[in-house]
Amino acid sequence: MQNEPTVRMTAVRRLYEVSARMGAGRSLGETLQAVVDGVVDGLGFGIAVLNLRQPDGKFEVIAVAGSPEAKEALLGTVSAADIFDAEFAIADVWGGLRFVPHERLPEGEVVGWVPDVPVSADPNAWHPLDALFAPLCSSEGELVGMLSVDLPEDQRRPGPIHRELLEIFATQAGLAIDKARLTDQLLAEKVRLEASETTFRLVFEGAGNGMATIAFDGPEAGRVLRVNDAFCRITGYTTDQLVGSALADYLEDEDAGQSRRELDQLTAGQGPYRFERTFRRADGHDIWLGGTAAIVGQGKDQPRILLIQIDDVTARKDAERELQHHAAHDALTGLANRRLLQHRFNAVLQRSRQSGRRGVLLFCDLNHFKQVNDKYGHEAGDLALREIGTRLQAAVRQGDTVARLGGDEFAVLAEEIDGTDLTALVRRIEDSINRPLTGIDVPVTASLGTAVVSPYTADLEELLRTADHAMYEAKQHSRR
């Protein structure tokens, strides 16, 4: 008969072997099976059952070893979260283990699977209804499962050595299960990310609109990370030219700080940011890009990226500009119309009230122009009006507004002008109109009236009436 040190040494050696086998399990399923196999093969128990604690607190039998009948009866069964509470209330506490002797079980129907073995009269013999449990905990003390063992190989209730070995094994098993569970979660996340990346790549590469990812954080912030074929087609650049370059180098800011403001709005917003920006193509031409930008996280401790989607909206922007031009300009001459003149006048009046400086509105009427239409026809008259409009634009100062009011009436709005500058402006306007028109021998001349734009001016219509009246007085004076 072996002495206690020899027994202990043999048991420790077996514990070491089964623990090494258990730790080699890579997935959670492999680890759980290694735990129950280790109990049966190395710790001297005939049956081992492992209940894994689920996220909702219930217990499910995941692994069984030692008995095909027990495996068939128990594997996959799910129990309530408090399944062990009643038994633990009557159990003996063996360190970290819980032993429930059969004699303390209440009379009635037995729950679970019971091995079909003879019952011994020896009070220290193992009874088929005896139960020994080892709670399995993570490194943080969280209960991750419950290991139950049955049928010791010597058919007796475990002594101190076997209890100690089972408790040590249960501690290691809890840590191994926790590690395997984390490994499974990481593998599942890896699979999810790979599937997500595959889906993203298919969408990214196959999209009809341009798509690009831009570094949003870190030293590479603002640099292009990835572009699809549509982005290259729209912008005219190759992938090699775009990747690694700064996106801001291709954008035209309408005013200083535009890009910085848009990034601030993007960061503060909750959803995709919509933008329209001028982009310098590879051929040197500017196009309008319209699209969305969204900040995308890549996981914990990973830098964020900016995902942008673009389309070439140059045709729409040109159409909008043309519509805006027609809404604010005379269709025949291309000069400002009354609507745009009103807008410019409001700005001049506001600045005059702030600075106290005065401006002038000149009302210009063409003399003898009716004879042009009568003699040469309205088509020639239209050509003559366009020529006069071009001459007026050349005669005024930079920043002055020339408008056609209708028919043969024009207006010039000049800001911050008086004295000799005003006299010179009037002379240039008169000289530009009084010159003979191309292919027309009718002597068309100009009559001008002026009205002062001061901080006390009421509105444009009043100013036009004043200038018109002054023009009429000048015309009458010229006739006399």
Q: Which domain holds residue 223?
A: 207-319
CATH number, domain at 249? 3.30.450.20
Beta-carbon contacts of 407 under 8 Å, excluding residues fewer than 6 positions away, are none
- Both 449 and 304 in one domain: the answer is no
Q: Is residue 396 in some structural domain?
A: yes
Q: Which of 408, 431, 441, 459 is catalytic?
A: 408
Helix axes 160-206, 4-23, angle to 10 degrees: 10
Say if CB 207 and CB 300 are below 8 A apart: no
Q: Which of 73, 49, 72 is nearest to 61 (CA)?
A: 49
The pLDDT of residue 410 is 94
Told to judge if 408 belongs to the known catalytic residues of this protein, a careful annotator would answer yes
Residue 43 has pLDDT above 60, yes or no: yes
Last residue of a domain, one of 185, 219, 241: 185
- Tens digit of pLDDT for each residue in 413-440? 999 888 889 999 999 999 999 999 999 9
- Tens digit of pLDDT for each residue in 17-37? 555 555 554 677 888 888 888
Last residue of a domain, one of 319, 346, 372: 319
- Both 180 and 219 in one domain: the answer is no
The pLDDT of residue 13 is 56
The pLDDT of residue 404 is 94
Q: Is 237 exposed, middle or buried (0-12, 13-18, 19+ CB in 10 A)?
A: buried
Q: Is residue 199 in some structural domain?
A: no
- Both 34 and 149 in one domain: the answer is yes
Beta-carbon contacts of 234 under 8 Å, excluding residues fewer than 6 positions away, are 210, 287, 289, 310, 311, 312
Average pLDDT value for the chain: 84
- Both 308 and 367 in one domain: the answer is no
- The CA–CA distances, whole Å, from 465 to 354, 363, 401, 411, 458 equal 25, 9, 18, 12, 12
Collapse the DSSP code of 269 into the 3-class scheme (helix H, G, I; strand E, B; otherwise coil) and give the result: coil
- Both 166 and 271 in one domain: the answer is no
Q: Is residue 91 in some structural domain?
A: yes
CATH number, domain at 30? 3.30.450.40
Q: Provide mean pLDDT across the span 41-52.
A: 88
The pLDDT of residue 1 is 42
User: Whole-angstrom Cα distance, residue 123 to residue 103?
Assistant: 10
**For the chain, what is the domain count?**
3
Say if CB 445 and CB 479 are below 8 A apart: no
- Tens digit of pLDDT for each residue in 88-129? 989 999 999 999 998 888 876 566 788 888 888 888 899 989
Say if CB 79 and CB 53 are below 8 A apart: no
Say if CB 336 and CB 411 are below 8 A apart: no
- Both 440 and 336 in one domain: the answer is yes
Say if CB 449 and CB 363 are below 8 A apart: yes
To the question of pTM greater than 0.95 for the whole model, the response is no
Task: Count CB-CB contacts under 10 A for residue 374.
Answer: 11
- Both 45 and 120 in one domain: the answer is yes
Of all residues in the chain, what percent carry a pLDDT higher than 90? Answer: 30
Q: Provide mean pLDDT across the span 316-325.
A: 82
Long-range contacts of 127-132 (CB under 8 A, 24+ apart): 127/101, 127/102, 128/102, 129/102, 129/105, 130/99, 130/100, 130/101, 130/102, 130/157, 131/87, 131/99, 131/100, 132/97, 132/98, 132/99, 132/100, 132/158, 132/166
Q: Is residue 198 in some structural domain?
A: no
Q: Is residue 192 in some structural domain?
A: no
- Both 296 and 349 in one domain: the answer is no
Say if CB 195 and CB 219 are below 8 A apart: no
Task: Please provide residue 226's backbone torsions phi and psi, each rounded to the nearest 5 degrees.
Answer: -160, 140
Say if CB 332 and CB 404 are below 8 A apart: yes
The pLDDT of residue 299 is 67
Last residue of a domain, one of 319, 350, 379: 319
- Both 9 and 138 in one domain: the answer is yes
- Both 27 and 166 in one domain: the answer is yes
Q: Is residue 191 in some structural domain?
A: no
Q: Provide mean pLDDT across the span 160-172.
A: 84
User: Whole-angstrom Cα distance, residue 251 to residue 70?
Assistant: 72
Q: H or E stretch including 409?
A: strand 409-414
User: Whole-angstrom Cα distance, residue 454 to residue 451?
Assistant: 9
- Both 136 and 176 in one domain: the answer is yes
Q: Distance from first CA to last CA of the chain, Å, rounded?
A: 150
Give the pLDDT band of residue 2 (cuts 50, 70, 90): very low
CATH number, domain at 471? 3.30.70.270
CA angle (150 as vertex; 149, 156 as ends), nearest 5: 120
- Both 175 and 245 in one domain: the answer is no
- Tens digit of pLDDT for each residue in 372-399? 999 999 999 999 999 999 999 999 999 9
